[in-house]
Amino acid sequence: MPVFTQGQAIDFIERTFGQGIISNSGLNISVLCPRCKSRKPFGYSKKKLVIKTDDFKCHCWVCGLKSPNIFPVLSKYFSNSKEEFLLTFGQSTLTANTLLSSQEILDEVDQPITLPPNSKLLAIHQKEYRYHTDYLLKRRGLTERELYYWKIMVSDHPDFKNRVIIPSFDSEGDLNYYTARKILDKGRGVKYKNPEVDRKSIIFNEMNINWNKPLVLVEGPFDLLKVIPNATCLLGSELNENYLLFQRICENKTEVILSLDLDAKTKELKIAKLLSQYNIKVKILKIPEQYEDIGELPLGRFNDLIASAKLYSRIETLKDKISSIV
C-alpha cells in the first residue's frame, strides 16, 4: 500500500508536468508527454501521457512511451524533480528491478520507428520488382493509383526483398507503423513483418482520417487497400477503451462503419456493443459470403456496399441471430 495520498501524487505530477486532466476518480491523470513535446515543440498541447496516481505507472497514447514508473521520465526531462520524487514517493514505489526495466523501456521507446533498410516507393515499370507488381495488380486486384495513394514500398534488403511494404503515418505525417507482406506464400519466413510496438497506441493511416465523417474500420492493411477514402484498420480484430483509436472515436463522436472478416463476427458484435455504450453510432457492413475477407473483394466493390450497412442495435442483432437459426 502506498504511504502517500492521492492528493500528494496529483500535486507533484501537476507541478512537474503541468495541469492535467483527472479521471477514474483520481486514479489517473493525463498530462503533456515531454517526449512528444520535445519532438513537436510548437503549439503541442495533447495531454496523452496517462499517469496512475497510486504507483506512477505511465503510458503515452501518442508516442508509445510506457514505463512501470515515471522516475526514468523525470531523469531525462525533469531532473530537478528527481530528488523530491525519491524523498516523497521513491521508497514505496521503486525497486531496483523497476528502475532497470523502466529505463530499458524508455530507451527503447526513444528509438523512432523506421522503415526497413533500403525501402523505396514501388514503380510498376521497374523490372527487378515485376513480381511485386504482379502480386499487387494481378493477385490483389489493385491499380497503379492505389500503389501511389498508399505509398507502397519495396526493399532490396535480404530480409525484405520478397515483400511489399505498406507504411502508415500519424496525424503529423510521421511514420507510426508498417507491415511487410510476403509476395510468395511458399518458402521460409513469416507472412508479415511489423515493427515491435504497442499496437494499442497506433492509429493506422491516421494522416488521412477525417474524424468528422463516418469512419470505416476493417481488420488489416490489405483490407484497407480496398477501402478509400476515410478508413483505418485494427491491425487485428480487437478494440476497446485501452486503444488510442477507440479514445479518438469517442472524443470526436465519430460514426463507425464496422466490417471485419467472416470468421470474426463475434468480435465484431462485441466492438459494436462497446462503442454503442459510449453513444457512438455504429453500422455493420456484411461482405458477400463468397469472399473470406475484404481484401478479396474486387476494387471498388466495398464502397458500393456501404449503403447496405445496417445500424447496430442489440434488438436487431438478436433478430438476425434468430432468423439464421430458423
Whether 20 shows a pLDDT value over 80: the answer reads: yes
* pLDDT band at 113; cut points 50, 70, 90: confident
Residue in 258, 208, 212 with CA at minimum distance from that of residue 238: 258
> What is the pLDDT, as a whole number, of residue 2?
52
Whether 189 shows a pLDDT value over 90: the answer reads: no
- Arch. (CATH architecture) of 199-326: 3-Layer(aba) Sandwich (3.40)
User: Residue 257: how many CA atoms within 13 Å on its side-chain side?
Assistant: 23
Which residues contact residue 197 at a Cβ distance below 8 angstroms, ignoring those fewer than 6 apart?
64, 113, 177
Whether 99 shows a pLDDT value over 80: the answer reads: no
* Mean pLDDT, residues 205-220: 95
> What is the pLDDT, as a whole number, of residue 315?
61
Which residue ranges make up each domain of the chain? 6-109, 114-197, 199-326
* Mean pLDDT, residues 215-225: 95
* Mean pLDDT, residues 153-172: 93
> What is the pLDDT, as a whole number, of residue 65?
81
CATH class as words, domain 114-197: alpha beta
Domain topology for 6-109 = DNA Primase; Chain A (3.90.580)
DSSP lists the bridge partners of residue 29 as: 22, 51
Q: Picking from 30-39, 144-153, 208-217, 222-231, which range would have the lowest pLDDT averaged per residue?
A: 30-39
Q: Residues, the chain, total?
A: 326
> What is the pLDDT, as a whole number, of residue 129?
93
> What is the pLDDT, as a whole number, of residue 1?
45
Query: Of residues 100 and 94, which shows the higher confidence score?
Result: 94
d(CA 80, CA 16) in angstroms, rounded, equals 9
* pLDDT band at 152; cut points 50, 70, 90: very high
Q: Which three cell numbers stand for residue 115?
A: 522503415
Query: Of residues 103 and 226, which shows the higher confidence score?
Result: 226
> What is the pLDDT, as a whole number, of residue 4?
86
Tell me which residue has cell 509476395: 183
* pLDDT band at 124; cut points 50, 70, 90: confident
Share of the chain above pLDDT 90, in %: 52
Contact indicator for 166, 152 with CB cutoff of 8 Å: yes
Whether 94 shows a pLDDT value over 70: the answer reads: no
* pLDDT band at 174; cut points 50, 70, 90: confident
pLDDT tens column, 289-319: 888 889 889 988 998 899 899 999 876 555 5
* Mean pLDDT, residues 111-121: 87
Whether 140 shows a pLDDT value over 80: the answer reads: yes
* Mean pLDDT, residues 127-137: 93
Residues 197, 202, 207, 210, Cα dihedral to 10°: 180
> What is the pLDDT, as a whole number, of residue 196?
85
Give me the DSSP letters along 111-146: S---PPTTEEE--TT-GGGHHHHHIIIIIS---HHH
